[in-house]
Amino acid sequence: MNNPDTSSRERERTEDRDSEVGRIEVVTTGMIPPGLPKVIGPGTEGVIREGGVVDLYDIDTQNLRLSDNDTIEPGTEVRVSMWGRQVYCQPKNEYERQQERNQRRQELERKAVARYKHWKRRRAEEFFEQYDIPFEWDVAIKGRRSGLGRGSWGDGRAADTVNHLFVCESFSEGRIERSAESYLCTPGIPEFRFTEERHLDGDEEEYRPKVTCKTCLERMERWKKDRGDTGKVAESEVAADE
């Protein structure tokens, strides 16, 4: 059941938006005083006088008028700003309501993004809890030259970059053997090593993201805690090493 107070506030906000004048174009009628663009550029305030004259508080000019004199009543305080190369004004109370709506929307968006990032972190932590990996490890990507050149972000990434299980200490188990500072999916130490891949959660705290490399995931199956007593390794886990 809807809260009556909340519904009432929503109706009031809708009515406010429906009755708003919006941005009205401002035209010049004579010489523009020096410094006017600098004053208007970041936004300034004034009041509407008779005949649609826009009287600014921060600079002395009577050469600005509404393109339609009847859109805003004399005595109304306005916010004056530039949009591209054109000057517009808007009733100050409307502008402030819009700012409040924008701030509420941005806050809702920020909270939604933070929730999503927290969810991603929980998923990553649950992912690693499935495994009992018998060596020191981390998560890393394989750097690409294309991700280091001009026009790139300089982080070594490409469109198809995935997260790998990075082997921090040498180990040997069955037919798979890796040296320190290598990737689980392929033997040998690559030319471009990007260790300690980290993502940020909703509190901007770092965490290790999930492994997404298919070959790494296949080889990690041997260390899954719920594999039972089969002790068998899939053929695909050792094929690349033969």
Q: At residue 103, what are phi and psi to the nearest 5 degrees?
A: -65, -40
Check pLDDT > 60 for residue 72. Answer: yes
Q: Mean pLDDT in the chain?
A: 82
pLDDT at 233: 47
Percent with pLDDT over 90 in the chain: 53
What pLDDT was estimated at residue 20? 73
Mean pLDDT, rounded, for 133-161: 70
The per-residue pLDDT for 102 is 95
- Percent of the chain's residues with pLDDT above 70: 77
What pLDDT does 35 receive?
A: 78
pLDDT of the residue at 151: 52
What's the pLDDT score for residue 39?
84
Which range of 20-24, 69-73, 89-93 scores highest in mean pLDDT? It is 89-93
Write the pLDDT tens digit of every residue in 200-222: 999 999 999 999 999 999 999 99
What pLDDT score was predicted for residue 211? 97
Distance CA 209, CA 119 (A): 12
pLDDT per position as a tens digit, 184-200: 998 887 666 677 889 99
Q: Is the pTM of this model over 0.75?
A: no
Mean pLDDT of 120-144: 93
Geometric angle at alpha carbon 103, from 77 and 85, rounded to 5°? 55
Rounded to an integer, what distance in angstroms lies between the CA atom of residue 25 and that of residue 21?
11
Task: Count the Cβ atoms, other than its own, within 10 Å of residue 179.
Answer: 13
Q: CA–CA distance from 154 to each of 38, 142, 206 (Å)? A: 37, 13, 20
Query: For 128-137, what is the mean pLDDT?
Result: 96
What is Dmax (Cα atoms) for the chain? 90
Residue 219, number of CB atoms within 10 A of its CB: 23
Going by pLDDT thresholds of 50, 70 and 90, the confidence category of residue 122 is very high
